[in-house]
A = this chain, B = another copy of it.
Amino acid sequence: MSVGSEIPSAIDLVAVRHAVDEVLREFVADRVRSAAGPELPPALAAFDEYLAGGKRLRPLLCYCGWYAAGGAATSRSILRVAAALELFHTFALIHDDLIDQADSRRGRPTLHRGLDAYHRARGDVPHPDRVGTGAAILLGDLALVWSDELLYASGMTERQLTSVRGLLDLMRNELMYGQYLDLLGTGVPTADLDAALTIARYKSGKYTVERPLQIGARLAGAEQPLLDMFSAFGVPIGEAFQLRDDVLGLFGDPAVTGKSQLDDIRDGKRTVLLAIALDRADGGQRDRLTRLIGDPAVDGAGAAEVRRVVVDTGALATVEAMIDERLGRGLAVLDDAAIPPSAVRALRSVAHAATVRSA
């Protein structure tokens, strides 16, 4: 965890983001070229577009973890590992959209809907919706497999790769478990705050912030104390990220979030925001919430009603306070952290971007 003197004094997050995007572009272009036949490229083009819109939170955090642990700022290898985490995330999103039957993501049709529309327009298959779904299952699978390939072709040594196996396994299992809990809870609105927080913790708390930081740090040779520091920072920031996601799901501007304001309500997602609202609701408010949450036909007026109850019960203010508390708790960990000041600044910046965002 020693910080060598050759390390630049600052992390340029914008440059890291661009470099990661460049790795992803090259990788997918290479796959298009080497696809064993002409059938795959249209699907890969859709995949490429889908990949274009992300915030790259996990790659940035992976890079910050690496840098904070003394990794060389100019390493190509860590950029490839960071890009591999983004491919893993892309896999997770593609399958999540299928599970949720979501129509849009990042302001565009989800991959399965996009491929459905592509084949529908060409009229080249009898069941475009089935092909859209099947292709998205396979492209998600490919993204997972490719994430592995990019990781192993990153240029990290065998020893470095072996050192992060355990963290990668944890990250993958935690995400799947969070997704599974989310799936089982969907459509069953509940005032059970603990259950909603557990889902938030697994789905995002660990997966989005803690693990990418730790993976980057471990690759640079970090020992347990630094990994623990990243847990203490990452878990609250990751939870705050998920809580912000819940708030944006209900109150965010769809033109900015790229997602419908109706999805969480229609699907009856077990979010912390709705759990608190249900817990605090009086009789009339509870009736309205239980009628609207999980209603497949819910419309804009219904969503406005849900928002009103969420505001009137104080659930929104409570969740905003929870976000603030977690953000403060995470940031406080950085005050005493034995990492370069530039890493502290970058982590503060990413923490704010993850929790005080509008999309």
* Chain A residues near B (Cβ < 8 Å): 35-37, 39-40, 43, 91, 95, 98-99, 101, 124-127, 130-131, 133-135, 137-138, 140-142, 144-145, 148-149, 152, 158-159, 162, 165, 169, 172-174, 176-177, 179-181, 183-184, 186-188, 198, 202, 268, 294
The residues of B that contact A184 with a CB separation of less than 8 Å are 39, 125, 131
The residues of B that contact A131 with a CB separation of less than 8 Å are 183-184, 186
Are A138 and B99 closer than 8 Å at their CB atoms? yes
The residues of B that contact A134 with a CB separation of less than 8 Å are 98-99, 183
**How far is B177's CA from A198's CA once the two chains are assembled, in angstroms?**
37
The residues of B that contact A158 with a CB separation of less than 8 Å are 158-159, 162
| Selected contact of A177 from candidates B35, B99, B162, CB within 8 Å | B35
**How far is B88's CA from A141's CA once the two chains are assembled, in angstroms?**
11
> Given A127-B187, A158-B162: A180 and B144 within 8 A (CB)?
no
Are B125 and A181 closer than 8 Å at their CB atoms? no
Q: Which of A43, A158, A180 has the most CB of B within 10 A?
A: A180
**How far is B173's CA from A270's CA once the two chains are assembled, in angstroms?**
36
**How far is B294's CA from A169's CA once the two chains are assembled, in angstroms?**
41
> Given A141-B95, A173-B145, A176-B141: A135 and B183 within 8 A (CB)?
yes
The residues of B that contact A39 with a CB separation of less than 8 Å are 180-181, 184
| Selected contact of A183 from candidates B124, B138, B148, CB within 8 Å | B138
CB nearest neighbor in B for A135: B183
| Copies of the protein in its oligomer | 2
Q: Which of A148, A184, A294 has the most CB of B within 10 A?
A: A184
The residues of B that contact A135 with a CB separation of less than 8 Å are 180, 183
**How far is B179's CA from A137's CA once the two chains are assembled, in angstroms?**
11
> Given A145-B173, A149-B169: A138 and B187 within 8 A (CB)?
no
CB nearest neighbor in B for A162: B158
**How far is B158's CA from A203's CA once the two chains are assembled, in angstroms?**
31
What are the nearest 3 A-B pairs in CB distance?
Answer: A99-B134, A126-B187, A158-B158
Are B180 and A138 closer than 8 Å at their CB atoms? yes
Are A138 and B176 closer than 8 Å at their CB atoms? yes
Are A187 and B125 closer than 8 Å at their CB atoms? yes
CB nearest neighbor in B for A179: B138
How far, in Å, is A168 (CB) from chain B's closest CB? 9
**How far is B138's CA from A176's CA once the two chains are assembled, in angstroms?**
7
The residues of B that contact A43 with a CB separation of less than 8 Å are 180
Are A174 and B95 closer than 8 Å at their CB atoms? no
How far, in Å, is A51 (CB) from chain B's closest CB? 17
CB-defined A-B contacts under 8 Å, sample of 8: A39-B184, A99-B130, A99-B134, A101-B130, A127-B187, A135-B183, A138-B176, A141-B176
Are A268 and B187 closer than 8 Å at their CB atoms? no
CB nearest neighbor in B for A119: B184
**How far is B43's CA from A124's CA once the two chains are assembled, in angstroms?**
37
CB nearest neighbor in B for A165: B152
The residues of B that contact A36 with a CB separation of less than 8 Å are 174, 177, 202
The residues of B that contact A130 with a CB separation of less than 8 Å are 99, 101, 186
Are A137 and B98 closer than 8 Å at their CB atoms? yes
CB nearest neighbor in B for A91: B141
The residues of B that contact A177 with a CB separation of less than 8 Å are 35-37, 40
The residues of B that contact A165 with a CB separation of less than 8 Å are 152
- Known A40-B177, A138-B180, A144-B144; 9 more pairs at CB < 8 Å: A40-B180, A98-B137, A99-B130, A99-B137, A125-B187, A126-B187, A138-B176, A158-B159, A158-B162
